[in-house]
Amino acid sequence: MTKSGIVSLGGYIPRQRLSRKAIAEAYTWLRPSGVANAKGARAIASYDEDALTMAVEAANNALRDVPLDEVRKLFFASTSMPFSDRQNAAIIAEALSLPRNLFCADIGGSLKSGLSALRQALESGESAVVVAAEKRTAKPASAQEMSFGDGAAAFGVGDSELLAEYLGAYSVSVDMTDHYRERDSKYGYYLEDRWIREEGYLKLIPESISGLLKQAGLDGGAIDHLILVGPDLPTRKKISSQCGVPVNVLCDDLYDVCGDTGSAHPLVLLAYTIESASPGQLILVSGFAQGCESMLFRVADDVGRCKNYSGIKNSLEQAKPSDDYVRYLSFSNALDLDWGIRAERDNRTAHSVFYRKRDAVTGFMGGHCTSCNTKQFPQSRVCVNPDCRALDTQVAEPFKDKKSYVKSFTKDWLAHCYNPPFVYGNVAFDGGGIVMMEIVDAEDQELGVGTPLKMTFRIKDRDAQRAYHRYFWKAAVVAE
């Protein structure tokens, strides 16, 4: 039987980390004791990020050395997808320049959808990409506002050059309501903690883990890393003891450094654990939601290749602390701000034009003149080189993964921007090509000519009247 497993990994946790103390201090009039219990920070996505853009970032990191033409399937898991009736996975596939004959699927409806997507990919028998991402909204002053975090994780799945071998899975599906969100609701409704702990965590998670261990012919003592998503540490210790797994192999839930990233969190923690694991070790990961999904992996001899990928550890190391709670509320659309008269314009999208130009817009595909070797964006019939000007000599040239740097820039405080100032300029690409584009993630950076940049997929513009937004690539400052 051919082994299947994880062949590559990628992660993305937004750089900005909002202090939970800053959140608590905004509500001292409501909960005076809240500040004392506010520990750590949660990751917050920027105004132009959503679950889809973060998924592109994580998946692009996971595909750095994977032959794109061999990928056959893409699964996208999230409970906060930007579109309910437009395939989000297809947008991700085009942004990643994956093959046109790709099978794509959106998987949602549950916080265990990330693990469900990973299991489907592993058991499909084909080369696949699995990515889970979340940007969930939480009611201001709620417990969820404190605990949620934004982020994404992705895995390449295949049967050769494994980082971790898939050994099996065990599902328990029960409509045990710990929380729910109706289709048109902005926020979820959460039930009482004791009910969730006693009837959910302490019954359904052990059932799933014990079932998986029995299926694999193992006892709990064989597990080297146990990942439990959902319960607090005392409850995780109880679950571990119930299943005969040593408490000292419980993995950090990363709550203090990024928060709970929803359906992405089991994959976030799995990627984080694989990055530091040793060959031969067993990793058991469980995700709770209307039952429990548990999966078992053996770390492969080739796990050292993790250093080639931009994973969760790399994202965590690039954290940028913030106490700006009001800015977070703006980014999460919890405040209705007056953006001024410059924001009053019709942003209707010309869908027919976008469809024809989507390789350039979504895939950031430029042109390469075969006559003079000039690179340019966008691709056109005529070469931009004044010494060439050849007609119909260009072939497609991908720009999204090229190294780039600032050639010139400006900060505009008058232009409409959801995170002023609006920063843009000329970006020069290695090998040729200059593009005037927006520069992001530079709030606290000293921009200058030559500052290194990388391309990142973001929301470019919003059409509030028609509930639609457009995506494009922006230049982001490379974190030191």
Mention the CATH class of domain 341-364+399-477: mainly beta
**Averaged over 375-388, what is the pLDDT?**
95
**Averaged over 79-99, what is the pLDDT?**
96
pLDDT at 480: 66
DSSP string of 197-255, one letter each residue: IIIIIHHHHHHHHHHHHHHHT--GGG-SEEEEESS-HHHHHHHHHHTT--GGGBPP--T
SS3 453: strand
pLDDT in tens, 138-163: 999 999 999 999 999 999 999 999 99
Nearest 5°: CA angle at 197, between 194 and 203? Answer: 135
Distance of alpha carbon 439 from alpha carbon 86, whole angstroms: 28
Task: Specify the pairing of strand 394-398 against strand 422-429.
Answer: unpaired
Q: Which of 314, 322, 321, 366 is nearest to 478 (CA)?
A: 314
Residue 458: what are its φ and ψ, rounded to 5°? -140, 170
CB 319 within 8 A of CB 257: yes
Domain boundaries defined on the chain? 5-331, 341-364+399-477
**Averaged over 36-64, what is the pLDDT?**
95
On the question of pLDDT at 1 being above 60, the answer is: no
Provide the pLDDT confidence category of residue 341 given band limits of 50, 70 and 90: confident
On the question of pLDDT at 338 being above 60, the answer is: yes
Share of the chain above pLDDT 90, in %: 83
HEC-encoded secondary structure of 26-88: CCCCCCCCCHHHCCCEEECCCCCCCHHHHHHHHHHHHCCCCCHHHCCEEEEECCCCCCCCCCH
Residue 144: what are its φ and ψ, rounded to 5°? -70, -35
How high does pLDDT run on average in the chain? 93
pLDDT at 345: 76
pLDDT at 37: 83
Distance of alpha carbon 237 from alpha carbon 129, whole angstroms: 33
Q: Which tokens go with 262?
A: 């929803």
Provide the pLDDT confidence category of residue 444 given band limits of 50, 70 and 90: low
Return the DSSP state at 290.
S
Provide the pLDDT confidence category of residue 400 given band limits of 50, 70 and 90: very high
**Averaged over 15-25, what is the pLDDT?**
95
Q: Which of 165, 166, 164, 192 is nearest to 178 (CA)?
A: 192
Report CA 140 to chain centroid distance, whole Å.
23
**Averaged over 348-369, what is the pLDDT?**
91
**Averaged over 303-313, what is the pLDDT?**
91
Q: Which tokens go with 292?
A: 């429990």
Q: Which tokens go with 449?
A: 């000519």
| CATH number attached to the domain at 5-331 | 3.40.47.10
pLDDT in tens, 223-268: 999 999 999 999 999 999 999 999 999 999 999 999 999 999 999 9
On the question of pLDDT at 327 being above 80, the answer is: yes
